[in-house]
A and B are shown apart, each in its own frame.
Chain A
Amino acid sequence: MNGQMIGALLRKDLVLFFSNRFFALVTVLALVFYAVIYYAMPGTVDETLEMAIYAPNLPPGFFSELEEGGVQLIPMADAAALRQAIQSGEQQLGVLLSPTFAQNLHLGQPETIHLYFAPDLPDEFKELYTLFFREISFMLTGRPLNVTVESEILGVDRGGEQIPYRDRMLPLFAVLILMIETMGLASLITNEVTSGTITALLVTPLRVEGLFAAKGIFGVTLAFSQAAFVMGVTGGLNEQPILILFLLLLGSLLVTGIAFLIASVAKDMMSVMGWGMLAVLVMSLPAFMVLIPGVATQWAKILPSYYLVDGVYQVLNGGWGWGEVGQHLLLLTGFAAAFLGLGVLILRRRFQG
């Protein structure tokens, strides 16, 4: 194995990869798509709670405490308009107060607050809002509940600096880019096996180790450069760039191993797509768990991509450094080595079969 051989094989793989118009197009479009999606999404989190209200004769500033607390009141023209706003889904929560509400409240007379909920609002939220208005009632009548409420923030207090969805999505982008490239590389190898060109290569002085080295370098470079590019244009390299790039490099090694495994079982491009999509779905699961907080469970940690996704997420959004992410790096290295080793072992048998 020497540099000239590896260089020649890399040049050949590059020509072949981009001669497959499907993968070339997918590669370019995906890069543009990820960047566009990222910038199309809001960069901040809207912390205000909108509440439609129709409350005739209510004195100005009656709900000033609520408004200072982040609740945005949307006044409605009448009760019908209020109902319409909720029914149409324009608003999730509506409050209807009677014209005598403020007056009766001061006199200690019984009053009713009508709450209207959008049909798709979860039950838990409906109960929460009901409790919320009972509490307001007590506040407005000056008769506090005979309980003491204590609150505690678990984890980093992100009040006022919540993580925007687009930043939550960055690890998903990284995993998707890397995983899509498994299909490109696996397809390239499968084509070479089925067309017999691998056999032609292996009756030259080229050793099978050299062939794997070239395929590995090509796969890692292809995946890593694209993931790094998307991270770069979306600001994902602004914090701890070396650490993020190192995580992506390990991720690229992992997906190259997965590509070898796919190529060892796939018979043509369609089966590459089938196995590849299965791998994409499984490996992307941890990224969706980051997108939807609370759904992450212990079993996600058996997926190698979890350590890439969580690592990238925590470095980008949790302020983690080399020390905190060290265990992730170690496990990701182990998974990458295992997948690459297994992929080489099985694919080697196919090359020489």
Chain B
Amino acid sequence: MKDDSLVIGGRSFGSRFILGSGKYSLKLIEAAVRDAGAEIITLAVRRANTKEKENILDYIPKNVTLLPNTSGARNADEAVRIARLARELGCGDFVKIEIMRDSKYLLPDNRETVKATEILAKEGFVVLPYMYPDLNEARALVSAGAAAVMPLASPIGSNKGLCTKEFIQILIDEIDLPVIVDAGIGRPSQACEAMEMGAAAIMANTALATAGDLPLMAAAFKRAIEAGRLAYLSGLGRVLTRGASASDPLTGFLCD
């Protein structure tokens, strides 16, 4: 099979599973990364902003690409400042824009996200914006210089799966950047389904953090994402709207 790397901002990744690092014990991060086979891990800049002896940055394996997020930002200006701080903290040039003006549902503010993306892309950041799946705003993000788009599947932390499936499909069909499904994916089967649809990658956090055995669930997601990807590359078999179709033709016995 030809190379099937995920390319974001000019960098290639063998894994299509982006791991979150929130809501669980720092000591589990290494095992989660290993069993997920993840090459990108997100972290909240505000969490890394600590003098604590247990800085989250120290728990992330060095060969993994950091994707710092701007959680806590309420507008573009704050997101830009947090992204710059991430760079100063040594987190690299990748940044996931998260702008929420709602502390209850934590829904992203697309309008402010476009503004922040434009500023940060011009400053050389590889910008991955977290967004509500809206085609017009996704196009605006492309124009603003985003390196990928990250539509939500359902409310963050809800584990409810692909509630926005139809709209994510539209983004996959129409946007020429990687579409990374983020937020709300609760089960490996949902991750697999998104990958079958043509998503470029899956980002998951709460699904693992609230699982019975975190590293084991990380491994389950890894396999589901790989399976979904292979199915997408293969092309799914057709679905009949009615009736059935035998594997061998019913009329196969006819000779002349």
Q: Answer whether A and B are interacting partners.
A: no
| B interface residues with partner A (beta carbon < 8 Å) | none
| A interface residues with partner B (beta carbon < 8 Å) | none
